[in-house]
Every structure is written in C-alpha cells, then in structure tokens.
Amino acid sequence: MADFFQFFQDELWGARLGDYLACFLILSSTFLLKRLLAKLFVRLGAGIATKFSEGTHGAAFRNLLRKPLEWLLAVILWFYAFSFIEDPLRDIVLVHWKRKSGTESLNLDELVHLLAAFFGIVFFILLCSRTIDFIFRVKAAKARSKAEKSRVQVLPLLKDVLKILLWTLGFFWILGVVFEVNIPALVTGLGIGGVAIALAAKETIENLLASFSILADKPFAVEDTVKLGTLQGKVERIGFRSTRLRASDGTLLIVPNKKLIDEALENLSERERRIVRVQVPISRTRKPEELPELLHRIKNFVEQEASLAGSVSVSIDSFTADSLIVLVVYHLPDELPEAAVLEQAGRINAKIFEEIGSLVVTNTP
C-alpha cells in the first residue's frame, strides 16, 4: 500500500503523478460537477427569488441563470484543475515574438490563465445580465398588475441602458486583464476620437434622445394603439433605439424612435369615438329639388341608431360625369370592440344602400 501511494509522489515533467491524476479527475468530472453545483446554487437563489417575486417567478429565475452559472463554474473548475500542473505547462512555449525591449514568449500556462480570465469575465457578465433580466421581469409584472403604464414604459429602456453599461464595463475589463491594455490611456484616446465615434453613431444617438423625449412627453404608452402614416399597431415595447408595434394581423413593426417624434402621430387609444365616412353616388337624373329631402331623410334614419356618438353629417361631396357623390359622416363609440364597430357600420351602411342605391366607398379608420 505504501508503494502504491509512493507511486503518486513520483515526478514526471516537473509535477507529481498525483497532480496529473487530480487534474484528470477534475477535468473529467467537470460536466457532472458544474450541473450539480449550478442546480444547488440556482435552487438556493430561486428560493430567495420566489420570496422577492411573491412566489411567481422561481421557474423563470432557474431558466435564466442556470446555463451561465454552469459555464462559469466549469471555467473555475477547469482553471483549478490545470493549477495542479502549472510547472509542466509553463515549460511548453507556444510562440515567440520580438519587441523593442527584447524577445517575449507565450507558454501554455499563461494561455490557460488568459483563457480562464476571458471566459470567466464573459460568463460572469452574462450571469449579471441575466440577473438584470430577471429583476426587471419581476418589476414589469408588478407594474402591469397595478396598471402602472408609465413604469411599464420606462422599465425596458432602463434595463437596456443598464445592460449596455454592464457589457461596456465587461469589455474594458477584458481589455485590461486579458490583453493588458492601459485603460486610462485608452479612455483618453477615446476622448480624441469621440467626435468620429459620435458621427458614426449619429442615428443611434438621435434615436436614444428621441426615446427620452417619448418618456418625458408621454405621447403614448405601452399597450396603446397608435397610427403613424400607413403604420398602425399596439405598442409592445419602447426601446432605446426603436419602438415595437404589433399590427392587427400579428405583424411586428419596428419603428425608429426619431420617426415617432418627427412625424404626425395619432394615439388611437386616446380618441373618444371613431369616425365613419361613406361615399354614395346619386344619379344626376334626379331632380334638383329632390336632393335636400333625400339628404334630410338619410340623416334622419342614421341618427336613429342608438349606438352613435356625436353628430351626423350628410352633404354633397363631389361630382362626376353622371352622378353626385354624397358624403355621409357619423361616429361610433371607441370603446366598442373592433368586430362590433365593423358590424354596426355595416348595418348602417346597408340602410343607406336600401335608401339610395349602390354604396361606393366606406372608410372606417
């Protein structure tokens, strides 16, 4: 037995055989260990998250954080495994290069340290980013449950800004630790090249400023229905660069924020009623003295509709070679569902058809 243990004390290429065995065992068991440790940490975190989110977001916490935590633990375990055989790795030189100060080289041990630092920082930042996603998901759910539209509108933008700052910090962290860049000198240099960067990012900066303008002026909020030119949809999310609209047919529309503040925007959720315009042709063979009575009759039976909101207008709109175009304008309550509005407008238009004749154009915005 003593000879067996003594065997692992023997050295090979500057390290004990026992160290090679420990390195191999940790590397081979990393996939199992990282899953077990990640499940343990995530389970503990999910318990805290469940209390924080009133018991409704524990599963979301596990789904968001499990993978980045697994890979972060894998990087730590791999780095720990290679630490047992530092001396042999240090003797393996991968590349040489010449500099003014002399010849430098990169050995395998240094490469392991650099890779561990790089992937460790990346997965740590990713873990923090997923944590931010979870926190803002909980806050957004609370805001929606309390019908706080202003908070629902601000939270996605604030989340994006925090994540951009986080990844920017991670980028400079990698430059300083892995590539040994002088960060203060780099920041100073960026001040000189800031004008060029600002010009290159001109549209992004304009859209970012437009997003703050939208949040300040509040021309619309999340879940409002807006119309911009030919585009119309329900606001799903206001980002730092663009706003997402969901059209009635399910199409996702991405509109730059600058476009939303530069052009005339209609907030359809703030309207009190819907206007319906119907164009009806009347043959020019009708006697002129019949027209006032006909227009009055149309107005009377449209006004008899109990669901109307607002006044009714009936007038001659234009002329063609063989007909007069009568324009009928009436209003329906906006709180009616879309299907009810179309049904009501169709019933009224059918009455106009029966009274006058053919119906040419109906416009129900």
Based on the fold, state whether residues 233 and 282 are members of the same structural domain.
no
Count of structural domains, the chain: 3
> Residue 111 falls within a domain, yes or no?
yes
At 100 the pLDDT is: 67
| CATH number of residue 280's parent domain | 3.30.70.100
At 362 the pLDDT is: 41
Based on the fold, state whether residues 279 and 260 are members of the same structural domain.
no
Instruction: Provide the domain limits for residue 308.
Output: 272-363
In this model, does residue 197 exceed pLDDT 80? no
DSSP string across 170-202? HHHHHHHHTS---HHHHHHHHHHTHHHHHHHTH
Based on the fold, state whether residues 286 and 349 are members of the same structural domain.
yes
Contact (Cβ atoms closer than 8 angstroms) between residue 278 and residue 361: yes
Last residue of a domain, one of 232, 250, 269: 269
At 233 the pLDDT is: 92
Based on the fold, state whether residues 344 and 257 are members of the same structural domain.
no
* pLDDT tens digits along 151-191: 888 888 889 889 989 999 999 999 999 988 887 877 776 66
At 170 the pLDDT is: 95
Based on the fold, state whether residues 130 and 32 are members of the same structural domain.
yes
Contact (Cβ atoms closer than 8 angstroms) between residue 113 and residue 147: no
At 290 the pLDDT is: 74
> Residue 185 falls within a domain, yes or no?
no
Based on the fold, state whether residues 278 and 304 are members of the same structural domain.
yes
Whole-angstrom Cα distance, residue 212 to residue 249? Answer: 29
Instruction: List CB contacts of 97: < 8 A, sequence separation 6 or more.
Output: 103, 104, 105
Based on the fold, state whether residues 25 and 129 are members of the same structural domain.
yes
Based on the fold, state whether residues 257 and 282 are members of the same structural domain.
no
In this model, does residue 353 exceed pLDDT 80? no
* pLDDT tens digits along 198-255: 555 678 788 888 888 888 888 888 888 899 988 999 999 888 889 999 998 889 999 9
Instruction: List CB contacts of 55: < 8 A, sequence separation 6 or more.
Output: none
pLDDT-derived band of residue 360, with 50, 70 and 90 as boundaries? very low
Q: Exposed (0-12), middle (13-18) or buried (19+): which is 80, by Cβ within 10 Å?
A: middle
What is the model's pTM? 0.70
